[in-house]
């Protein structure tokens, strides 16, 4: 197809990508990607991690130049030389990790890098603020232009990011995983904003790997797989299952907890009472947290990141001192703050930062697998490690947990995210723990690995381990847990039986709406 | 009128605080852009030797020679700053190491002393000096007159620069960009601010200001050349930046406090007050250590408002 016919074939498109290919040494990140975004449309780019979404958005925003293919903006052939050229052409990006300066006001963040209204050489802050308030009202995004960004909630910060793009007269907004950091009510208000932008003739490119939200937000969906655009479908009338198949390339069965749970009369293996602890900056991060987990039970902790979940798991793993409260493991009090102490008492810990905190990335799989047991026989004898025992133990665990790697000597940093997590779970479960504390166990994993990890967690519970599952992924918490506790600002707001939990109620709690009824555990 | 001890001490505090104001003001600009420059002491000496050289080798009326000498001081010190800028911004060398190296390179046993020897400086006081002058005719005001308005032109210039720099940092578009570069170069870069250029410009401006600080010594305070004549005031200027929370107005107060401490040995000695010399000499340095210890932990620095990206080289993320 020649260029002119491409131009002739499409009209009223905000953005058209045709045959876009981008190679990096050793990888083809995008291959023959073709899709078009209409004016006034919310268009989703759906794909797993590594499917090429990020590379594609970097091409659209001028960070990378495509090796092949054509990019048309407002039906005009364009290759962006720089991010600035993309901004000038009306394409704006809202990154997943906000590019905001916390100590600046909302207005300062928005006008940074623009030619702000000025009198002589001084910035005319008042008229900049007026313009921002006007834009905020136009798109239903209330925000105080004089507030400092660090004072704002994550949802408000995202509004500032969006306003920053709108202030630069962007007609095409690219949003990278925008709901990942939001509570469900915040996500709903974002959808309202995006819809109102589309109604007013702007276009939104919505990047996500979440099937559910894509189907409800977008008009059309382009699915990316292995760097290629697989299909573009109408959101209305496409099922989650069909989208998942397009995304993964095979049929996917998701793990859903059925039955299970603690048996009647099962012992309480983890009991936390009135626990308080300080955060990194010396401010209270946990206040009076109490919870119990029975053998064979999965307790899910839901909440927006940064509400004390990290501090909670660190205290349980002995990595953070508590200021008050008690922790009992299977009836024995955990007295000291010391990472070795919980290990000996039977607490297994899978941290969110798998490769940094969980494993030693430059050590081999075999060495990582024995990191918590090397002090005692049979792994070591007196001061010496026993390589043959270590090797056979590594083989056994790699088979049992289906770790795919060239050999047990491979450094863990070379493994894919799913295999890293399997190594970590293998090590933790090999110590025959009573309690398993896991934090965001499937974050960043592809769909297949997610299912495997979920199954491993369910297996652990079935074997009588009490599992504390901390995750920002509400769907995951709802699918796996027997009970769900919601954390907000360092407190547990409510603890709900999974069978009675519904997403809107948990969403309200995640946003801090205090329940009068139904409190307690 | 000058018999009043109170007036003498305060006037001296401003006079001896003036080089600190210039040096710390320049360092505020550099640090606001995210580059810490421990070469202030060295740059001051470069400025001092440059100014002394011009004032010694050019004959002419003060109105011609002194401006040229000050410009020379700025250029000499900015040349030192350029080395630091290139090493830390382009080559991303550790800023602390590069700054220390600059002070050693330019300092007592380095380039400034070498140049002074080469040009045979320091044999006699320079012919043209910045003397005290009553610029606005307000020198006769009671109390304030002799304290504020019987100072050198350099002091008046420092006040002007403090006001202009404050407005620049907090009220202009370029100041906004400067602060953004020092807080989060990634963010600034993503909205099209030229991070490296901003850092170069402000490190160089900081060097030029340090040069004027050096000129204060060789054209007014001493006024001749002596090896290492800045007596560690560059280090005090570094502490003042923190003391003033990276704000020119607060820094000015601190500079005069330290200027007053530095001058005590002259003013008190002249009156025969019996305080051990060593104690007086060490006061400003002891204060510097106290300030630095108080703010040395990073949490405290964050709370005091240090630019978040201070000391961190910036490299654009590329795949």
pLDDT band per the 50, 70, 90 thresholds, residue A6: very low
pLDDT over threshold 70, residue A38: yes
CB contact under 8 A, B180 and A104: yes
> Is residue B58, in this structure, part of any structural domain at all?
yes
Tokens of B143: 């109390």
Residues 431-460 of A with CB under 8 A from B: none
Q: Which residue has the higher pLDDT, A471 or B23?
A: B23
ipTM, 2 dp: 0.87
Tokens of B218: 């060789």
What is the distance between the alpha carbons of residues A336 and A341, in angstroms, rounded to a whole number? 7
Q: Return the pLDDT at A4.
A: 37
* B171 Cβ under 8 Å from any chain A Cβ: yes
What average pLDDT does the segment B265-276 reach?
A: 75
Is beta strand A172-176 parallel, antiparallel or unpaired with respect to A203-208? parallel
Give the DSSP H or E segment for A499. none
What is the distance between the alpha carbons of residues A233 and A222, in angstroms, rounded to a whole number? 6
Mean pLDDT value across chain A: 86
Contact yes or no for A144/A160 (Cβ under 8 A): no
Of B184, B192, B308, the CB nearest to A83: B192
> Is residue B314, in this structure, part of any structural domain at all?
no
> Is residue B226, in this structure, part of any structural domain at all?
yes
Q: Return the pLDDT at B295.
A: 66
What is the distance between the alpha carbons of residues A305 and A307, in angstroms, rounded to a whole number? 6
Tokens of A22: 């981008």
Cis peptide before A34 (omega within 30 of 0): no
Distance from first CA to last CA of chain A, Å, rounded? Answer: 64
> Is residue B71, in this structure, part of any structural domain at all?
yes
Contact yes or no for B227/B233 (Cβ under 8 A): no
Cα torsion angle, A349, A352, A354, A357, sign: negative
Neighbours of A273 (CB within 10 A): 14
CB contact under 8 A, B176 and A103: no
* B157 Cβ under 8 Å from any chain A Cβ: no
Domain with B132 in it: 5-302
What average pLDDT does the segment A434-457 reach?
A: 87
pLDDT, tens only, A194-216 = 999 999 999 999 998 777 788 88
Of A84, A103, A122, the CB nearest to B183: A103
**What CATH number does the domain containing B150 carry?**
1.10.3470
Chain A positions touching B191 (Cβ under 8 A) are: 99, 112-114, 164
Q: Return the pLDDT at A203.
A: 94
> Is residue B185, in this structure, part of any structural domain at all?
yes
pLDDT over threshold 60, residue A518: no
pLDDT band per the 50, 70, 90 thresholds, residue A437: very high
For A110, which residue in chain B has the nearest alpha carbon? B191
3 state SS of A332: strand
Where is average pLDDT lowest: A27-36, A338-347, B46-55, B296-305? B296-305
Domain total in chain B: 1
> Is residue B272, in this structure, part of any structural domain at all?
yes
> Is residue B122, in this structure, part of any structural domain at all?
yes
What is the model's pTM?
Answer: 0.75
pLDDT, tens only, A133-152 = 999 999 888 899 999 998 88
* B303 Cβ under 8 Å from any chain A Cβ: no
* B179 Cβ under 8 Å from any chain A Cβ: yes
Q: Return the pLDDT at B300.
A: 62
Is beta strand A76-77 parallel, antiparallel or unpaired with respect to A68-73? antiparallel
Q: Return the pLDDT at A334.
A: 86
């Amino acid at each position: 197809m020649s260029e002119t016919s491409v131009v002739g074939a499409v009209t009223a498109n905000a953005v058209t990508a045709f045959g876009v290919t981008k190679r990096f040494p050793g990888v083809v990140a995008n291959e023959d990607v073709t899709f078009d975004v209409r004016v006034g449309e919310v268009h989703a780019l759906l794909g797993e991690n590594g499917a090429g979404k990020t590379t594609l958005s970097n091409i659209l925003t001028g960070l990378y130049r495509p090796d092949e293919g054509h990019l048309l903006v407002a039906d005009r052939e364009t290759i962006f030389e720089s991010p600035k050229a993309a901004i000038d052409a009306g394409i704006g990006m809202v990154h997943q990790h906000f590019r905001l300066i916390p100590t600046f006001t909302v207005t300062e963040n928005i006008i940074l890098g623009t030619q702000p209204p000025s009198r002589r050489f001084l910035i005319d802050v008042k008229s900049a603020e007026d313009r921002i308030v006007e834009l905020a009202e136009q798109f239903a995004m209330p925000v105080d232009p004089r507030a400092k960004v660090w004072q704002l909630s994550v949802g408000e910060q995202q509004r500032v990011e969006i306003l920053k793009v709108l202030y630069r007269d962007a007609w095409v907004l690219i949003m990278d995983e925008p709901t990942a950091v939001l509570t469900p009510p915040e996500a709903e208000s974002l959808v309202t904003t995006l819809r109102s932008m589309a109604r007013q003739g702007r276009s939104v490119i919505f990047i996500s790997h979440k099937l559910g939200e894509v189907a409800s937000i977008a008009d059309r969906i382009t699915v990316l797989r292995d760097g290629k655009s697989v299909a573009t479908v109408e959101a209305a009338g496409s099922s989650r299952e069909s989208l998942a198949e397009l995304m993964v390339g095979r049929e996917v069965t998701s793990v859903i907890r059925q039955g299970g749970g603690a048996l009647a009369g099962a012992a309480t293996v983890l009991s936390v009472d009135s626990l308080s602890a300080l955060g990194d900056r010396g401010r209270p991060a946990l206040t009076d947290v109490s919870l119990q987990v029975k053998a064979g039970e999965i307790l899910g902790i839901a909440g927006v990141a940064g509400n004390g979940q990290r501090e909670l798991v660190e205290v349980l793993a002995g990595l953070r001192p508590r200021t008050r409260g008690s922790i009992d493991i299977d009836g024995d009090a955990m007295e000291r703050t010391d990472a070795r102490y919980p290990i000996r008492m039977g607490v297994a810990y899978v941290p969110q930062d798998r490769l940094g905190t969980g494993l030693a990335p430059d050590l081999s799989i075999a060495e990582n697998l024995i990191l918590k047991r090397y002090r005692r026989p049979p792994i070591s004898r007196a001061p010496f490690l026993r390589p043959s025992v270590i090797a056979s133990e590594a083989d056994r665990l790699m088979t049992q947990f289906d770790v795919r790697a060239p050999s047990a000597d491979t450094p863990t940093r070379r493994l894919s995210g799913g295999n890293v997590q399997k190594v970590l779970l293998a090590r933790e479960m090999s110590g025959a723990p009573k309690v398993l504390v896991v934090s965001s166990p499937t974050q960043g994993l592809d769909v297949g690995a997610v299912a495997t990890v979920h199954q491993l967690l369910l297996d652990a519970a079935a074997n009588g381990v009490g599992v504390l599952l901390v995750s920002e992924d509400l769907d995951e918490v709802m699918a796996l847990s027997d009970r769900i506790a919601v954390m907000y600002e360092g407190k547990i707001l409510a603890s709900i039986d999974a069978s009675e939990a519904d997403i809107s109620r948990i969403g309200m709690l995640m946003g801090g709406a205090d329940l009068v009824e139904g409190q307690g555990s | 009128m000058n018999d009043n001890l109170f007036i003498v001490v305060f006037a001296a505090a401003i006079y001896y605080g003036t080089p600190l104001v210039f040096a710390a003001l320049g360092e505020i600009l550099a640090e606001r852009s995210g580059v810490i420059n421990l070469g202030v002491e060295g740059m001051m000496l470069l400025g001092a030797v440059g100014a002394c050289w011009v004032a010694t080798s050019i004959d002419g009326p003060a109105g011609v020679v002194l401006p040229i000498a000050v410009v020379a001081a700025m250029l000499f010190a900015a040349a030192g700053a350029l080395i630091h800028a290139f090493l830390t911004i382009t080559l991303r060398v550790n800023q602390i190491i590069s700054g220390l190296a600059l002070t050693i390179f330019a300092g007592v046993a380095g380039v400034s002393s070498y140049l002074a020897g080469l040009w045979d400086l320091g044999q006699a006081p320079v012919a043209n000096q910045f003397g005290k002058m009553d610029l606005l005719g307000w020198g006769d005001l009671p109390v304030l007159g002799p304290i504020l308005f019987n100072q050198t032109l350099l002091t008046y210039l420092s006040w002007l620069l403090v006001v202009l720099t404050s407005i620049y940092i907090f009220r202009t578009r370029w100041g906004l960009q400067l602060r953004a570069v020092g807080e989060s170069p990634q963010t600034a870069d993503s909205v099209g601010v030229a991070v490296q250029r901003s850092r170069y410009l402000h490190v160089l401006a900081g060097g030029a200001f340090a040069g004027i600080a050096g000129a204060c010594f060789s054209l007014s305070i001493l006024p001749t050349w002596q090896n290492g004549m800045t007596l560690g005031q560059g280090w005090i200027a570094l502490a003042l930046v923190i003391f003033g929370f990276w704000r020119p107005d607060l820094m000015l107060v601190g500079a005069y406090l330290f200027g007053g401490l530095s001058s005590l040995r002259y003013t008190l000695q002249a009156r025969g007050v019996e305080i051990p010399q060593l104690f007086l000499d060490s006061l400003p340095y002891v204060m510097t250590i106290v300030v630095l210890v108080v703010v040395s932990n990073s949490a405290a620095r964050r709370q005091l408002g240090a630019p978040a990206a201070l000391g961190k080289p910036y490299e654009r993320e590329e795949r």
